[in-house]
Amino acid sequence: MWFYEKRLEYPVNITTPNAKLAQFIMSQYGGPDGEINASLRYLSQRFAMKNRIAMATLTDVGTEELAHLEIVATIVHQLTRDLSMEEIEKSGLGPYYIDHTVGVWPQAAGGVPQNACEFQSKGDPITDLFEDLAAEQKARSTYDNILRVVKNTPEVADPIRFLRMREVVHFQRFGEALRSVQEDLDAKNFYAFNASFDAPVSCPPGNKQ
Amino acid sequence: MNRNACCTQNMGPHGARNNMGQARCAMPVKEPVRPCMENRMGQNRPCMENHMNQNRPCMENRMGQNHPCTENHMRHHHQDMGQDRVSSPCTCEEDWKQEVPTGNQKKLLCYIDEVSFAVYDALLYLDTHPNDDAALHYFNRHNMKRNFALEEYAKAYGPLNIGTMDDDAGRSWEWACQPWPWEGGNC
């Protein structure tokens, strides 16, 4: 169950609109490595985890990704308010404007709509946690790419740096969660079976069954 | 913050403006009723009756399914709404604390499910009826009950949210150690 908290995880106060930057940053809203896919990935995968450390990590990171989704949306919104028609047309935002005006809609920077095929929920904790580690790195790379473009716009770069930093922290936590799952398995072959399907394990030891 | 402030903020040209290019809600702060709600409030809707007894076929369906929690809850819900209509709301916090069931985890969680649903349903209602006094009292009463119950649950069985986390040094991180809702066996 969730309740909304009426604040951003990190403040966003953009005073100068910039349609070009909005189009780039939008990718972290609905793009392949964007925050909505991150959140859906973790909140979907947690049901097949075999220990509560991994369940807790996926629940809490998945929840924080929703907060990041809101930060990215706020950046896009503030970058697109008060735009003139001339700016919209010149910046290349025209096609987006035709379909969405300046509403926030989940798409990649190149216009590809948000797509659940960008992530997996495999029902295998080892498989899923390795994907999660890669996902955090992919998002971090995307924020690095964005930072190269916005480096001269401090009011945009500041919240982006915060988001990038959280990808690094999440990578660390997922590494620890993966280790906690592996510790309950045969160290000689972590892929011997799907720990959630083939051979149920008791984790934390003694808590179940 | 002034309660009218939300109506007087400048939202920018792509924000809350009408077709004439004027801010929809830009009215003097001194207005007795929120200007943006004026039209709707002027209709003087007996909101709770409408809300609970009509137009909510989904609730009836769910009650028909005999879910124990929902059933109990809806009974309370209707009784409480009735209370609001006939008398000024009670503020006896001690009584509400007494109402929280103790000593049985399932019962306590069931109670939290009930009051939390009442809180959330009232929250949605208040979003569109922000000046409805009966609904405000209803919300406050249930929100307090909910907070008492969440504190009680956290003390006895571990926290259900970060607001009631209070792990002392001698215990482990109960948040991760206690069962997750999809593991089953809860109310």
Mean pLDDT taken over chain B: 66
> Is A56's CB within 8 Å of B176's CB?
yes
Question: Domain limits at A81?
Answer: 19-182
pLDDT band at B19, cuts 50/70/90? very low
> Which DSSP state fits A111?
S
The alpha carbon of residue A144 is apart from the nearest alpha carbon of chain B, in Å, by 30
Is B180 close to A46, i.e. CB distance below 8 A?
yes
Does B52 share its domain with B2? no
Question: What is the average per-residue pLDDT within A166-193?
Answer: 91
Looking at residue A115, what is its pLDDT?
97
Q: Is A174 helix (H, G, I), strand (E, B) or coil?
A: helix
Determine which of A7, A43, A44, A55 to mutate to test the interface with B (most B C-beta atoms within 10 Å).
Answer: A55
> Does the reported pTM lie above 0.90?
no
> Is the predicted pLDDT of residue B72 greater than 90, yes or no?
no
Question: In chain A, which residues have their Cβ closer than 8 Å to the Cβ of B5?
Answer: none
Q: What pLDDT, on a 0 to 100 scale, did the predictor assign at position A200?
A: 53
Those residues whose C-beta lies under 8 Å from the C-beta of residue A42, and which sit 6 or more positions away, are: A58, A59, A61, A62, A65, A132
Q: With a cut of 90, say whether residue B60 has pLDDT above it.
A: no
In terms of CA atoms, which chain A residue is nearest residue B15? A81
Whether A111 is in a domain gets the answer yes
pLDDT at B121 over 50: yes
Q: Structurally, how many domains does chain B consist of?
A: 2
The answer to whether the CB atoms of A59 and B180 lie below 8 A apart is yes
Band of pLDDT at residue A18, cut at 50, 70 and 90: very high
With cut-offs at 50, 70 and 90, classify the pLDDT of residue A17.
very high
Residue A65 inside a domain? The answer is yes
Region B68-97 average pLDDT: 55
> So what's the pLDDT on residue A186?
83
Window from A59-63, A204-208, B88-92 with minimum mean pLDDT: A204-208
- Top residue of B1, B11, B14, B110 to mutate, by most chain A CBs within 10 Å, is B14
As a whole number, mean pLDDT of residues A2-16 equals: 96
Q: How far is B15 from chain A (nearest CA, A)?
A: 8
pLDDT of B11 strictly over 90: no
Predicted local confidence at residue B120, as pLDDT: 96
Q: Is the pLDDT of residue A190 over 90?
A: no
Put simply, whether A195 touches B (Cβ < 8 Å) is: no
Task: Indicate whether A180 pLDDT > 90.
Answer: yes
Query: Is residue A165 domain-resident?
Result: yes
Are B142 and B73 in a shared domain?
yes
- Note whether A85 contacts B: Cβ–Cβ < 8 A: no
Residue A36 forms part of a structural domain: yes
A80 contacts in B (CB within 8 Å)?
Answer: 14
Do A35 and A72 touch, CB atoms closer than 8 A? Answer: yes
* Domain CATH number, residue A96: 1.20.1260.10
Q: Which residue has the higher pLDDT, B2 or A122?
A: A122
How far is residue B16 CA from its own chain's centroid?
Answer: 27
Nearest chain B Cα distance for residue A205, angstroms: 12
- pLDDT above 90 as % of chain A: 87
The arithmetic mean of pLDDT across residues B20-49, rounded, is 41
A46 occurs within a structural domain: yes
Task: State the greatest distance between any 2 C-alpha atoms of chain A, in Å, as a whole number.
Answer: 66
Query: Does any CB of chain B come closer than 8 Å to the CB of residue A122?
Result: no
Percentage of residues in chain B having pLDDT higher than 90: 33
Chain A / chain B CB contacts < 8 angstroms: 30
Q: Which residues in chain B are closer than 8 Å to A56, comparing Cβ atoms?
A: 175-176, 180
Answer yes or no: is A105 within a domain: yes
Contact A1 B14 (CB under 8 A): no
pLDDT beyond 80 at B103: yes
At B187 the pLDDT is: 47
| Domain enclosing residue B18, as ranges | 1-44
Residue A130 has pLDDT above 90, yes or no: yes
The H or E element containing residue A7 is none
Tell me, yes or no, whether A172 lies in a domain: yes
pLDDT, mean over chain A: 93
Nearest to A130 by CA among A184, A174, A189: A174
Q: Does residue A72 lie in a domain region?
A: yes
DSSP string covering chain B = --TTHHHH----TTSSB-TTSSBTT---TT-SS-GGGHHHHHT---HHHHHHHSS-HHHHHHHHTT-HHHHHHHHHHHHHHHHHHHSPPP--HHHHHHHS--S-HHHHHHHHHHHHHHHHHHHHHHHH-TT-HHHHHHHHHHHHHHHHHHHHHHHHH--SSGGG----TTS--HHHHSPPGGGS---
Q: Do B40 and B74 belong to one domain? A: no
For an interface test with B, the pick among A1, A47, A61, A93 (most B C-beta atoms closer than 10 Å) comes out as A1
Q: How many domains in chain A?
A: 1
Residue A45 has pLDDT above 90, yes or no: yes
Query: Does residue A47 sit at the B interface (CB-CB below 8 Å)?
Result: yes
Of A1, A52, A102, the CB nearest to B14: A102
Q: Which residue of A has its CA nearest to B182?
A: A47
